[in-house]
Structure 1
Amino acid sequence: MTKHRGFGIDIGGSGIKGAYVDLQTGEFATDRYRIPTPQPATPEAVADTVAELVAHFEVPSSVPIGIDFPAPIIHGVAPMIANLDPSWKGLNVEDLFTKHLDRPVRVVNDADAAGYAEVHYGAAAGRDGLVMVLTLGTGIGSVLVMDGVLVPNTELGHVELDGRDAESYASSGVFERDNLGWEEWAKRLQRYFSHMEMLFSPEVFIVGGGISKKSKKFLPLIETRAPIIPAELQNTAGIVGSALLAAEAAGEFTLDRGTKKRIKKARKEIRAAKKKAKEKVKNAAKAS
């Protein structure tokens, strides 16, 4: 076990996943392991499944564990719950897992964990100032990170926009439900992004969610002062971000500025290599 490894767990409505993370690079240090979420997903049942996951990896008690959870987390407590059993509401989730695993545990909102990873290892690696991560899905999730420090539990998809809840007007869920065209949806996103920029003046917007894979179809249609960049980490982000937050909280690891710059350079080189490989395949297909 190296000192630069952390362990992260992602708790979802259908699966509970975990992996070791190389904190110097933000990459998985082992294969991810998944166990179906128990039904009903009561606190004790989920805690037992998390313990099973930790036992599978034989995680030493000295390793802090980060857990991303599908609810806001305020001083360890989930004030509301959507995708798990209602009995989680008002429960101190951090205390539950700490006692069940008999070791330090850091529990964070799942969107916050993913956004934190994106800022430190993904699209915004190496950037200072305020970074705003917006995930476009059934709703609109939001994450704010200022100079590398997480501002937790923001719910900026629920700001009022022209007399309505913003995500009820501009989420990708609405885009699909109402069968909008890319340009029509981009006009709605323009209104939302302009409002966010007026309120917060971020240095950069990072756009996540499954639809970010099609970002070339709609992001170029949106104009803001701050650049808008698609997220890079996708499905690894929650585990990576929770592992980093746990290691930092325990004083086990600090991601310094030099490391952030190296990560940014490495990811730029990877993107360039992937682009070159695609062009090579495309040219070979034309030649044949």
Structure 2
Amino acid sequence: MNEKTAGTTPAGILAVDVGGTGLKCAVIDDHGTMISERERVDTPHPCPPQALLDAYAGMAPKLPAFDRIAIGFPGVVRNGTVLTAPNLGAEAWAGFALADAMASRLGAPARLINDAEMQGLGIISGKGLEMVLTLGTGAGTALFRDGVLMPHMELAHHPVHDNLTYDEYLGVAAYEKHGRKHWNHHVGRVIELLYVLLHYDRLYLGGGNSKHVDLDLPGNVVIASNDAGLTGGAALWRGG
């Protein structure tokens, strides 16, 4: 356990948001309310597991006490283990037990989920078919039905246009290459394609590049707060 202030106030949850450009964390309460300022450092490139653990070991002591950890990770994860980490540039991630490693390094039990799914847990209404599309270094998705998380679809690596994957079509490299106007055309096209595919009731746009969205969005598409990438971590610990 983080020992600072331990025993004087209820310990919170260390919410960890792993991004391709930034590593972020904050302490939240059981309801998902942030009870600390957000800490952030640039993501090193490449970012093998040890570099990520070192970064969070440096940030965690600056925060209030926590007795649990919730990790949102940009890739396919299962049972506390990373299967893919396309935007961290390190093959060492395949099969890496990140939840156990983070728990051991920071001294508190940890749970791991895809980062788009963690953001979704912080913003969904719990009614109908709700989808999250994160726009950052790459593109992430999460799908919920009546508040229940559906099996993860790694659309980031699925072709969407001219053999380009969602990552290549919507990611930061596409934004920098094509410029804001053309990139927004890509976003609009994907919004339409996802609706044809899923007929979602609500689509939430998140991620660092959602601030660049400049479209007349349909009524069932909204831009969500990126704080949800941290506050959604509370849902990982509800029910014990």
TM-score under structure 2 length normalisation:
0.76
What's 1:64 paired with? 68
Which deviations, in whole Å up to 9, do the C-alpha atoms of 1:121-153 show, x marking residues without a partner? xxxxx3501111112345432111222222354
Structure-1 separation of matches of 2:46 and 2:180: 36
Residue 61 of structure 2 is aligned to residue 55 of structure 1: yes
Please tell me whether the aligned partners of residues 67 and 106 of structure 1 are also in contact (alpha carbons under 8 angstroms): yes
- After superposition, the Cα gap between the structure-2 partners of 1:128 and 1:48, relative to the gap in structure 1 and judged at 3 Å, is same
TM-score under structure 1 length normalisation:
0.65
Residues 100-179 of structure 1: pairs in structure 2 closer than 5 A:
100-119=105-124, 126-151=125-150, 153-161=152-160, 164-167=163-166, 168-169=168-169, 173-174=173-174, 176-179=176-179
Question: Which residue identity does 1:72 align to in structure 2?
Answer: V
Question: Which residue identity does 2:174 align to in structure 1?
Answer: V
**Would you identify which runs of 4 or more consecutive aligned residues in structure 1 move more than 6 Å?**
none
What's 1:256 paired with? none
- After superposition, the Cα gap between the structure-2 partners of 1:194 and 1:65, relative to the gap in structure 1 and judged at 3 Å, is same
Q: Secondary structure at the match of 1:219?
A: coil
Deviation at 1:106, TM superposition (A): 0.6
Residue 101 of structure 2 is aligned to residue 76 of structure 1: no
What's 1:230 paired with? 223
Please tell me whether the aligned partners of residues 119 and 229 of structure 2 are also in contact (alpha carbons under 8 angstroms): yes
Deviation at 1:204, TM superposition (A): 0.7
Structure-2 separation of matches of 1:14 and 1:85: 14
Deviation at 1:73, TM superposition (A): 0.9
Deviation at 1:2, TM superposition (A): 4.1
Which deviations, in whole Å up to 9, do the C-alpha atoms of 1:154-192 show, x marking residues without a partner? 22244444653353445675355234746x953x54543
Residue 216 of structure 2 is aligned to residue 219 of structure 1: yes
Gaps of 5+ in 1: 120-125, 253-288
Report the structure number with the largest CA radius of gyration: 1
- After superposition, the Cα gap between the structure-2 partners of 1:177 and 1:138, relative to the gap in structure 1 and judged at 3 Å, is farther
Report how many aligned residue pairs link the two structures. Answer: 230
Structure-2 separation of matches of 1:41 and 1:191: 32
Q: Secondary structure at the match of 1:64?
A: strand
What's 2:236 paired with? 246
Q: More strand per residue: 1 or 2?
A: 2
2:199 to 198, 201, 205: 201
What's 2:5 paired with? none
Which deviations, in whole Å up to 9, do the C-alpha atoms of 1:168-226 show, x marking residues without a partner? 445675355234746x953x5454333322221211111223443354x3134xx5xx7
- After superposition, the Cα gap between the structure-2 partners of 1:65 and 1:173, relative to the gap in structure 1 and judged at 3 Å, is same
Deviation at 1:21, TM superposition (A): 1.4
Q: More helix per residue: 1 or 2?
A: 1
